[in-house]
Amino acid sequence: MELYKNIFIKRNLYTCTVLNKEALKSSKSRSASSHRWLTRQLKDPYVEKARQENYRCRSAFKLLEINKRFNILTPGLVVVDCGAAPGSWTQVALKLTNAIGKDEDKAVGRVFAIDRLPIHPIDGATILGNADFTLPNTQSTLKQLLNGQPVDVVLSDMAPNATGVRQLDHDKIMYLAYSAMKFAVEMSKVGGTFVTKVWDGQQTSEFEKDVEKFYKSIKIIRPPATRDESAEMFILAQGFKGLKQLKT
């Protein structure tokens, strides 16, 4: 992983698609885990597909697959993408919401991308790089940028750096998921959508119940682009009830 980070910083491109056989060859002098990771990337058809379709990372296809089934992104919507780096979900959201305004006959959306890592500029997106979404000042800045406009879709592909300790890693990602849910509940339009990544574990069922308090429909999704060995899954919540309705 460190080798990959060095490659991507050296080229100044925030992308998951700069791998090649030379990178694999040089990785043999690095750790076994780095070499295995690069080997897997080079054999992954979604990595090549991302390169061909100019997406920054293979994860774009997870969101595309979710949208194909549930049509959560349409022209004119306001979208907040949490944990956006390197920017593949943002690219998908920009296209599907017509945020760049290429289709003059359709409504123009807005897309906001936030991540603790730097994010290389993406035409049409409002980017908050080097910004920890979980911190109050980051969310305050985001709310100022929204300028009172409610959000239609909150996306969270946030994940912590894995320690290899299953319970610890699970606790960390659930903290991020709850942070994204809290923001969605505060900022979403009635009828809005929330999508967040979680890793299967003890808190997942409780989190689903908590999300269900605020949304009419909850689904657990593993898009085809999710690797077989991955413990990740996505919770899709649709039909935000609105806080006023909940209080009555």
- In 10-60, which ranges are E strands? none
Closest listed residue to residue 125, CA positions, set 154, 99, 149:
99
Number of other residues whose CB lies within 10 A of the CB of residue 206: 10
What residue type is 198 in one-letter code? V
> Could you give the CA distance from residue 100 to residue 104 in angstroms, rounded to a whole number?
10
Closest listed residue to residue 217, CA positions, set 235, 197, 196, 238:
238
* CA distances (Å), origin 197, targets 58, 81, 154, 160, 178: 15, 12, 12, 11, 11
> Could you give the CA distance from residue 233 to residue 72 in angstroms, rounded to a whole number?
17
Active-site option among 62, 95, 172, 197? 197
> Could you give the CA distance from residue 55 to residue 58 in angstroms, rounded to a whole number?
7
Q: Active site includes 197?
A: yes
Dihedrals phi, psi of 89, to nearest 5 degrees? -65, -35
Active site residues: 197
